[in-house]
Each structure stands twice: as structure tokens, then as C-alpha cells.
């Protein structure tokens, strides 16, 4: 792929063997210095896809900010930074600049010559306004999970940050879905980028067995319990559409299960950190989450995803199911979506988006009173 012997030796030391599809396509082009957009989810090896070309091209002898990586959440920023530390030499200096963490420590990392800054747009803007972060020497900019950043509403911050970066730079953009808004962002801030287009079908479906379960709304809790007994997942991530729904579901199942937890945006950061730590270590086997927090979870042991609520947007479905069947994981992941009769059209739209029919899954002899209608309704 054009990587130097030194970088290849480091990859061998940490157990990297076969490159993933996004790495095979992305790395050789990025090494030429061209701008590149890539369609890939967290868990497909995308951090190495953009990180290795940056590490290969930057001058590790020089202190100061040479690369800026923007992500939508603090959890993802920290995961990206951890992976870059594994990929890079021991001398690599990193600063993770995110909200919910002491800003003084982040400023100290910048003052000590951090070469790569990984952060969320909001905190990066804050540091720029405080004049604690200088982007004048940045040669590489990465927009990671660009679609998610736009969903959250970070576009104004991203635009302000990009305008502070040198025009002579390499810009790399990664996104699970290439919406019109992502395309517009790329057109505005990238220079004739090469597009690495893994089809949404490949991105969404290759490593994941997908099913829908036709349900009546008032039977969802009991059916979830039956599904867990039938599947006995190694680790399961359950998505709800609201924080209230997540808390309600957690309260119900916590009466019988000890290794269960819940995470959403209203939890204080220390609590969220503990929840993620316990889930990553395997102490927690079932985690109930909302989209805002759950989509940033990058844990290799998740065997099952359950969409307790059908996601509001098709893109959310792609992101949700991407949490299962990760690289170096337990093998092929499984995703289940509970669908009421009223939600049938939403599932049909998801099927159109991912270019496949989702198989129906039967739970014992249960038959909903109001099943999903036929496809020609």
C-alpha cells in the first residue's frame, strides 16, 4: 500500500495483518497527498485508513500542531486518539480536545507541542477563541463521521475551523453515509477529492445478519425478554429513540439483570465514562443507549444490536447496526429491529436505502395482532 518499512514494522508489532477494504482503497491515494472522501463506519478500520498516511507524511521531529482530526463526540475522539497512539511511535504527541474534560490539561498538551489534535468542533472553537490553539501550521485535516457532525449541528463550527486552516493542506473526510449535505461540505472545503465509494450495501450489510420482528407496541418489553433468552448474546446494545424510553427500559430489566446499564446525553460525563468502561471490559453485557451517545461506541465484543425503536432516519440505522460484528470481534454480528404496523413504511425506506430486504424473525409462536403490512401497501 506504499507504507514505509518502519510503519509496517509497527503494524506487525501491534498485530495488524490484513488491511480492511477501506484501508486498501484509502491509504494508497491518501499517501499521494490528494484530498480523499471515504464511505466507512467506525469499526471498519477507518482510523488506520486516515491515520497511517498522516503518520507517514508528517514530520515527527517537529513539535506543534500538524494535523487536526474532528469527530462528533468526546468518546469517538478518545477512541481515535488511543488508536493513533498504538499506530504511531512512542514519541508521538497527541492532544484530545473535547468538552466534559478539564480544559487546562488540554491547553497544557498544546503548549507541550502536541503534533496531532483530536477533538470535537465545539471545544476546538473554544480553544481557538482563547488563542490557545494555532492552526497555521496544520498540513492535514480529517473530518471523521462527517454525517454525524452535521446531524448534531456542528456545520457552523466546522466552517469556522476550516477557514482558520491553511489553504495548502490535505483534507480527508470519512462518513458512513454520503448525504447531499456531506457532499456540499466536501465540495466547499476539499480540492477535487478522490472518492472511495464502498456502497451502502457493503457498508451496512457485509458483516451483519439483519432481521426485523413484527410486534405490537404493548408487547415489546416481553418480546425483548424472549429474544434475549433465545439469542443469549455475548454483549448486546439496545437502542431507543428517547432518553425517557432508555431509562424506562433500564428500570424494567434492571429488576432481574445485574449486568445491565444505560447511557444517554443527560448522564454526567464521569458516569458515562464508567458505563463505557464496564461495557468494554465485559462487566456489563447489556447496554441501553440513545443514538447521540450509542453511535460513538466502538467496542469489538458486541455480538447483537437490538433496535427497540425503529430509528427516525435511515442513516441512523446504518450507524446503529455498525456497532456489531466489528473488526477483531466475535464474528458475524446480528441486528434485530422491532417494527409495529405503523412503522412498516419506515422499515421499507430503510430497506430501499441499504438495497436489501431485511429478513423476518419469528419469536416462538408469537403473532402480532397488527403485523407489518405487505410490501405493496
Cβ–Cβ under 8 Å, residues 87 and 11: yes
Quickly count: other Cβ atoms within 10 Å of residue 3's Cβ. Answer: 18
Nearest C-alpha neighbor of 320 from the set 300, 294, 341: 294
Query: What CATH superfamily classification does 202-360 receive?
Result: P-loop containing nucleotide triphosphate hydrolases (3.40.50.300)
pTM for the full predicted model: 0.71
Contacts of 195 (CB under 8 A, 6+ apart): 36, 37, 38
pLDDT at 294: 63
Question: Mind listing the pLDDT tens digit for each residue in 35-86?
Answer: 999 987 666 788 999 999 999 999 989 999 999 999 998 888 998 999 999 9
pLDDT at 49: 93
Diameter of the chain by CA atoms?
A: 68
Left (φ > 0), alpha (ψ -120 to 50) or beta: where does 126 sit? alpha
CA distance 208 to 298: 16
- The DSSP letter of residue 20 is P
Tell me, rounded to whole angstroms, the distance of Cα 174 from its chain centroid.
Answer: 10
Question: Mind listing the pLDDT tens digit for each residue in 18-43?
Answer: 888 889 999 999 999 999 999 876 66
DSSP string, 97-149: E-TTS-HHHHHHHHHTT-SEEEE-HHHHHHHHHTT----TT--EEEETTHHHH
Cα–Cα distance list, 230 to 161, 309, 337 (Å): 49, 20, 15
Cβ–Cβ under 8 Å, residues 301 and 276: no
Cα–Cα distance list, 104 to 76, 98, 321 (Å): 21, 12, 37
Cβ–Cβ under 8 Å, residues 31 and 7: no
Question: Mind listing the pLDDT tens digit for each residue in 224-241?
Answer: 999 998 888 888 999 998
- Confidence at 328, pLDDT banded by 50, 70, 90: very low
Yes or no: domain 5-198 corresponds to CATH 3.40.50.300: yes
- The DSSP letter of residue 255 is T
Outline which parts of the chain fall under CATH 3.40.50.300: 5-198, 202-360
Task: Report, in this order, helix, strand and coil percent for the chain, each rounded to 5.
Answer: 45, 15, 40
Question: Mind listing the pLDDT tens digit for each residue in 94-142?
Answer: 999 999 889 999 999 999 999 999 999 999 999 999 999 999 999 999 9
Q: Is the pLDDT of residue 332 over 90?
A: no
Strand 304-307 and strand 116-119: the pairing is unpaired
What is the 3 state secondary structure string of 300-323? Answer: CCCCEEEECCCCCCHHHHHHHHCC
pLDDT at 370: 53
Amino acid at each position: 500500500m506504499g507504507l514505509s518499512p518502519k510503519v509496517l514494522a509497527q503494524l506487525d508489532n501491534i498485530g495488524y495483518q490484513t488491511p480492511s477494504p477501506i484501508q486498501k482503497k484509502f491509504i494508497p491515494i491518501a499517501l499521494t497527498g490528494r484530498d480523499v472522501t471515504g464511505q466507512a463506519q467506525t469499526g471498519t478500520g477507518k482510523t488506520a485508513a486516515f491515520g497511517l498516511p498522516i503518520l507517514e507524511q508528517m514530520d515527527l521531529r517537529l513539535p506543534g500542531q500538524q494535523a487536526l482530526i474532528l469527530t462528533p463526540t468526546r468518546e469517538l475522539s478518545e477512541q481515535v486518539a488511543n488508536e493513533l497512539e498504538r499506530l504511531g511511535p512512542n514519541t508521538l504527541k497527541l492532544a484530545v480536545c473535547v468538552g466534559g474534560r478539564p480544559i487546562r490539561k488540554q491547553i497544557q498538551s498544546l503548549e507541550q507541542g502536541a503534533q496531532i489534535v483530536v477533538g470535537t468542533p465545539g471545544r476546538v472553537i473554544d480553544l481557538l477563541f482563547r488563542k490557545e490553539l494555532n492552526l497555521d501550521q496544520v498540513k492535514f485535516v480529517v473530518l471523521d463521521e462527517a454525517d454525524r457532525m452535521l446531524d448534531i449541528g456542528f456545520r457552523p463550527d466546522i466552517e469556522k475551523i476550516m477557514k482558520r486552516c491553511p489553504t495548502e493542506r490535505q483534507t480527508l473526510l470519512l462518513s458512513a453515509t454520503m448525504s447531499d449535505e456531506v457532499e456540499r461540505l466536501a465540495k466547499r472545503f476539499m480540492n477535487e477529492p478522490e472518492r472511495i465509494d464502498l456502497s451502502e450495501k457493503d457498508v451496512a450489510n457485509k458483516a451483519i445478519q439483519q432481521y426485523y420482528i413484527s410486534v405490537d407496541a404493548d408487547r415489546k418489553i416481553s418480546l425483548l425478554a424472549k429474544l434475549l433468552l433465545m439469542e443469549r448474546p455475548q454483549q448486546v446494545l439496545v437502542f431507543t429513540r428517547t432518553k425517557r424510553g432508555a431509562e424506562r427500559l433500564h428500570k424494567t430489566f434492571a429488576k432481574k439483570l445485574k449486568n445491565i446499564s444505560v447511557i444517554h446525553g443527560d448522564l454526567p460525563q464521569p458516569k458515562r465514562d464508567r458505563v463505557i468502561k464496564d461495557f468494554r471490559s465485559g462487566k456489563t453485557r447489556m447496554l441501553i443507549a440513545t443514538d447521540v451517545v450509542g453511535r460513538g461506541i466502538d467496542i469489538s465484543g458486541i455480538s447483537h444490536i437490538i433496535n427497540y425503536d425503529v430509528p427516525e432516519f435511515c442513516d441512523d440505522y446504518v450507524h446503529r447496526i455498525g456497532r456489531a460484528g466489528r473488526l477483531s470481534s466475535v464474528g458475524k454480528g446480528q441486528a434485530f429491529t422491532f417494527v409495529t404496523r405503523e412503522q412498516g413504511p419506515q422499515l421499507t425506506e430503510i430497506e430501499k436505502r441499504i438495497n436489501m430486504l431485511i429478513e423476518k424473525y419469528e419469536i416462538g409462536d408469537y403473532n402480532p395482532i397488527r403485523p407489518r403490512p405487505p410490501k405493496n401497501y
